[in-house]
Structure 1
């Protein structure tokens, strides 16, 4: 979905299918008094062609495997820069005041309807901004913070001068996901493959091998709607976006003594599918509070990199002129919990130490797991084998004696994902007496035909997350109108532009101060300290009084419906997504 949906280009509103779980409601006309109440009549009129669009929510859409149409794009457009502005102008925000130690924070305007506003920003979005304005990724982050919280940003022309109290980097949540993901794979390898399937419609807590990445919402929606046999293999970890939302909502509500609905969180992400992820009922306070009812979202709204610039334009802010320096420390109130404050806002360090080109542009899940596994075996080496195209890569960790310790792979783009899904599909027994099982996924002995991967990094977009559908494109008016570039939208131009975004994503800035910060930590795995991350997560669970499992893990469920099951329609959608570059 990510690359083929843009709310700005929609003009083909369509009515939902007859099997939609929330059809358009059409009440029968009130009978005229002159007609006999016992008279039988037949309605031969055709249905009206000008019916209004169905009024359904994103959560309703996720509960149905309906066809992929612009109707779903309308739902996605409900989360937009317009919603952000409307929220900021709805009422005076809660005003916080406190000391520099991060304790004794007071709140004003509690009697009103205002909220505390927080934002989280993905590194892929910062890279997109950096490539657009010719700045470094770090400078792009400062410009975003200035837009959302600074004196020259969006609050300048706001009704109540509301702005975002904290702007955090999802990289810290990404590091937590990497450490937990490595533990998840290690546990799976040690425990061996389980035969458990789905329990009460949800996947069990410990996934089966191979464990598949679950941080890409386009891939998750596709698996839930079309291939339920994949669900036992999905990683149970929340994505960095979801984990950050849970951390912010739980900590602020507990420490400040306010309801989660008084905290409004927007995430800036590279793809539209993240809007669907934010709408999942599994990612609300009902889960970590244990209420079992439809709750408050951990992420209230998601806007893309392109929509961030639209947010600035709506407030008549010239994004290119925003300061490329951080806000002054005096203007920022520390996060209520000192330990989590140092975790969310760490001292600068070399980004090149924990984000390398070989790790990819989707967070480095696979790369970190390989590095973590290799670090536990002396003189182990990692070998790479390219698959049928650049988006399919196989990896093996080999011991000093030449023994294969672990196999893993990377599958990007839905064309490649189709091949992976086929390999994992269980064989069906033949109806013919003495016939072999149907399906190429298994040999007669019952073992998979393909390589026995321990982990597979799966992403919907070819090239990874920097190529998300919500990223700024070379032919977007936001670029050409500013005179930044006049590039066409051809394949070669798109490839060249993506290379610029990737270069910004992997850019690092060295300094003596940063080197000192890195060198102080022991036991680093690819620039990340597992012990530090685990200690912080344990503190988070203790400070909020919530079990860590409810905070960091989620669940998936098979979606059963007859809508959108036509093979021809499905193939057509896949072809469109493949041509444009990602999404379903």
Structure 2
């Protein structure tokens, strides 16, 4: 962590409050000069929407060139904390989507007669790709609230589908009339992640042995939280759940199934994710989330990413505007989608009904909610007790047996201010440096013990209020909302609360779940928090069979400490190696 950015400076939304300290990497033609001062290493971070000229550097011939900061730089540097909220990235934008859509005629998938398979046309053009998108429910909720007029999350989802694959969307006016072949709901992968995560915490599956996370298990689906842990608190990493996020799991599913069933290379499949968070762009660029990892046949830094591009909710509006259309004028009806090539996976991705979760599940996917209900189902007669913590973003939960015994304890921590308290309590004890020295702070605890954390599981999210309040969501002070809602030029805290309430209301605008089947009755169709674990496990097993890869490699990931190289002298050889690895794994 940079000396010029301390933990005490942190707010709930982290963005670089100072100049970025990651220098531009260039290969010197002559021996490097003496190490410059820390001020010389600083480069201006260009914020989204700013019009000022970027900082420039001098290249080899004396000319000046814009200083650019890539996602690889962000992942390799610990100078910032979450890094993505305020960094203007050159790729993974709505412009990149248009570039790919209009780059070449797309691959087209056509079912053969009598269900005998699928034909793929356009393979003779090496630039042609098969376009697939996945959309988060939080994005649909944000756009539904922006539409107003009682538009539901489902209707907003149909509008996104019309934009990406409908005749009046991107296809209209495009160079080749291209559009996305499928637009998926990440709720399917979310349900799989919930079942895998519960097995990881409660037993019955999941990562085992050396890969099994230590208690308390912490949610790892929030990339802002993961970046923070990797860069500033590596002692937390053994506690992170190894289950991939819904975005990452969807990407792996799409690339493996389509490449196997259709017989095409993974780099011919282009997967776009529409998410509520800018940090999801960083997650997509991780070397751990490539085909080289799950296929096990190459260097992770040179693999094909499972998620090729991520855009946020507000970038959906920009994508529509770039085609000269108003997103809010798109039809609020489903355009219809072709069948997914595998029928079992099709039923998983496109179920006949997927009702929304109850409000008690929260707006971040319901990780804690599902695990609590799973733990309750394993202890007949038990009850779930929920206690509010120090603020609305902290809750403590317990599963209590009929005799009053606490059989399972968990919590929820949202927002970086609360996360700071969590990681402090997880800090391991340290022995005094001097013989006979007095123990203080965390060192007063027995080795391996944490202070006041007897949870088995903690749901951790970087954004206060959860994922519906993500950094990439449409905000109350965005011009589109000011114009449509007549909040005034400077919406205040009251308008902000009212707006977030509208987004949450849209998120829960679907049918409530029926939880009457939450019982361990031995029925293979029994539900836990509205989800059938047996159906999910059968589908995952089928996926592994289709891919020909063990589920452990498909559904789980890993994390690593990120050590800053800022201020360190690096030899020319080391610099070449670093650049080579970054070119392979990043941009």
Interval of TM-score (by shorter of Structure 1 and Structure 2): 0.7 to 0.9
Q: Residue 81 of structure 2 contacts residue 228 of structure 2 at CA under 8 Å; is this kept in 1?
A: no
Where does structure 2 lack aligned partners over 5 or more consecutive residues? Answer: 1-10, 42-54, 58-64, 518-522, 569-587
Cα distance in structure 2, aligned partners of 1:70 and 1:444 = 35
1:96 to 109, 112, 121: 109
1:271 to 262, 268, 277: 277
Distance change >3 Å, CA 122–CA 5, structure 1 → 2: farther
Other structure's SS at 2:280 match: helix
- Mapped pair 1:393 → 2:395: yes
Other structure's SS at 2:496 match: helix
The alpha-carbon deviation at position 179 of structure 1 amounts to 0.3
Other structure's SS at 1:410 match: strand
Other structure's SS at 1:303 match: strand
- Mapped pair 1:547 → 2:550: yes
Q: Residue 442 of structure 1 contacts residue 449 of structure 1 at CA under 8 Å; is this kept in 2?
A: no
The alpha-carbon deviation at position 61 of structure 1 amounts to 2.8
Distance change >3 Å, CA 189–CA 397, structure 1 → 2: farther
Match of 2:533 in 1: 530
1:101-500 matches, cutoff 5 A: 103-112=116-125, 113-134=127-148, 135-187=151-203, 204-293=210-299, 294-328=302-336, 332-351=337-356, 355-435=357-437, 437-440=439-442, 443-444=445-446, 447-482=449-484, 486=488, 488-500=490-502
Distance change >3 Å, CA 94–CA 174, structure 1 → 2: same
1:448-486 CA-partner distances (Å, limit 9, x unpaired): 330311000000000000000100012212223456754
Match of 2:571 in 1: none
1:416-474 CA-partner distances (Å, limit 9, x unpaired): 11111010101111235444543337635864330311000000000000000100012
Where does structure 1 lack aligned partners over 5 or more consecutive residues? Answer: 30-42, 197-203, 566-584
Cα distance in structure 2, aligned partners of 1:182 and 1:121 = 24
The alpha-carbon deviation at position 489 of structure 1 amounts to 3.3
Q: Residue 214 of structure 1 contacts residue 237 of structure 1 at CA under 8 Å; is this kept in 2?
A: yes
Q: Residue 143 of structure 2 contacts residue 156 of structure 2 at CA under 8 Å; is this kept in 1?
A: yes
Cα distance in structure 1, aligned partners of 2:12 and 2:111 = 41
Cα distance in structure 2, aligned partners of 1:291 and 1:163 = 32
Per the normalisation by structure 2, the TM-score is 0.82
Per the normalisation by structure 1, the TM-score is 0.83
Cα distance in structure 2, aligned partners of 1:262 and 1:240 = 22
Q: Residue 97 of structure 1 contacts residue 106 of structure 1 at CA under 8 Å; is this kept in 2?
A: yes
Q: Residue 80 of structure 1 contacts residue 303 of structure 1 at CA under 8 Å; is this kept in 2?
A: yes
Distance change >3 Å, CA 492–CA 338, structure 1 → 2: same
Q: Residue 2 of structure 1 contacts residue 272 of structure 1 at CA under 8 Å; is this kept in 2?
A: no
- Tell me the C-alpha RMSD between the 2 structures: 3.2
1:182-206 CA-partner distances (Å, limit 9, x unpaired): 0000139999xx9x9xxxxxxx410
The alpha-carbon deviation at position 500 of structure 1 amounts to 0.6
Q: Which has the higher contact order (CA 8 A, sep 6+)?
A: 1
Distance change >3 Å, CA 77–CA 481, structure 1 → 2: farther
Other structure's SS at 1:310 match: helix
1:191-242 CA-partner distances (Å, limit 9, x unpaired): 9xx9x9xxxxxxx410000000000000000100111100100000000000
Q: Residue 432 of structure 2 contacts residue 443 of structure 2 at CA under 8 Å; is this kept in 1?
A: no
Other structure's SS at 1:283 match: coil
The alpha-carbon deviation at position 501 of structure 1 amounts to 0.4
Cα distance in structure 1, aligned partners of 2:567 and 2:527 = 47
Q: Residue 196 of structure 2 contacts residue 206 of structure 2 at CA under 8 Å; is this kept in 1?
A: no
Cα distance in structure 1, aligned partners of 2:396 and 2:442 = 20
